[in-house]
Amino acid sequence: MNDCVFCRIVAGEAPATKVYEDDTLCAFLDIRPIARGHMLVVPKQHAAELEDLDAELGAYVFRAGHRLALAVRRSTLAADGANLLLNDGTAAFQTVAHVHLHVIPRKHGDKFRFAAGVVLRRPHDAESTAAAIQAGIAALERDEKPGRNGKLGMERPEEGAQE
Ligand SMILES: [Zn+2]
Report whether pLDDT(157) > 50: no
Calculate how far, in angstroms, residue 100's C-alpha sits from the geometric centre of ligand 1.
10
Tens digit of pLDDT for each residue in 107-143?
998 877 665 444 556 567 889 999 999 999 999 998 8
Q: Report the chain's mean pLDDT, rounded to a whole number.
A: 86
Residues identified as active-site: 100
CATH no. of 5-107+118-143:
3.30.428.10
Question: What burial class does residue 35 get, using C-beta atoms within 10 Å of its C-beta: 0-12 exposed, 13-18 middle, 19+ buried?
Answer: buried
Tens digit of pLDDT for each residue in 20-36?
999 999 999 998 888 89
At 86 the pLDDT is 97
Calculate how far, in angstroms, residue 123's C-alpha sits from the geometric centre of ligand 1.
25
Is the four-CA dihedral 91, 93, 97, 100 of positive or negative sign? negative
Record the pTM: 0.81
